[in-house]
């Protein structure tokens, strides 16, 4: 019996030691390991929250960027339309100016032709009138002689004399 009691007490002692070991390990885990694990969990959760915030911010930025891109596209299209209208108006003005220049050149050509005609008539008169007067004077001298020829010549000159314009 004594051996049974010793065995029972030995087992009880060993169980008590085991229990104390388990309690000590539990307290060590609770005191040292759990705070470290909780702080790691908190750090991971904080990183997760930061990443979620960054993801949310990125999503908002993407939406704003897409809106800005669409606005820029619209502004670009409006600007392109304005430039096209300006280009068309400049082309039209250029065509109108060319047509006006052509019209003015035609008017100038017509005026030059008239001036050339008038100039050639004036030059012809400068040559023909004196020679005609001389010829008329000579013939009137031959036919009428004296002053009668000069009087007729004066009348002829007054009739032929070009009127001032």
pLDDT tens-digit profile of 79-101? 999 999 999 999 999 999 999 99
Q: Does residue 146 have a pLDDT over 70?
A: no
More confident position, 122 or 110: 110
Average pLDDT over residues 10-27: 92
What tokens does 156 get? 């002829």
Residue 164's SS3 state is coil
- Confidence at 138, pLDDT banded by 50, 70, 90: confident
Q: What is the pLDDT of residue 165?
A: 46
Alpha carbon 53 to its chain centroid, in Å, reads 40
Question: Which of 49-53, 60-64, 118-122, 144-148 bottoms out in mean pLDDT, i.e. has the lowest?
Answer: 144-148
Listed residue (162, 161, 159, 134) closest to 149, CA to CA: 134
Average pLDDT over residues 3-22: 86
137: how many CB neighbours lie within 10 A of its CB? 16
Average pLDDT over residues 95-117: 93
| 64 half-sphere exposure, CB direction, 13 A CA radius | 6
What tokens does 55 get? 């993801």
Gap between the Cα atoms of 152 and 136, Å rounded: 9
Q: What is the pLDDT of residue 91?
A: 93
Gap between the Cα atoms of 66 and 71, Å rounded: 9
Q: Does residue 18 have a pLDDT over 80?
A: yes
């Amino acid at each position: 019996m004594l051996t049974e009691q010793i065995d029972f007490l030995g087992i009880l002692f060993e169980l008590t030691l085991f229990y104390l070991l388990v309690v000590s390990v539990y307290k060590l885990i609770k005191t040292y390991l759990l705070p470290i694990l909780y702080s790691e969990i908190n750090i991971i959760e904080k990183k997760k929250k930061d990443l979620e915030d960054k993801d949310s911010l990125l999503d908002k930025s993407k939406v704003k960027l897409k809106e800005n891109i669409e606005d820029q596209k619209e502004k670009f299209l409006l600007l392109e339309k304005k430039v096209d209208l300006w280009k068309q108006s400049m082309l039209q003005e250029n065509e109108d100016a060319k047509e006006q220049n052509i019209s003015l050149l035609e008017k100038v050509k017509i005026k030059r032709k008239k001036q050339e005609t008038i100039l050639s008539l004036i030059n012809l008169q400068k040559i023909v009138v004196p020679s005609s007067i001389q010829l008329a004077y000579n013939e009137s001298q031959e036919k009428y002689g004296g002053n009668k020829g000069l009087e007729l010549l004066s009348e002829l000159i007054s009739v032929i004399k070009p009127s001032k314009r």
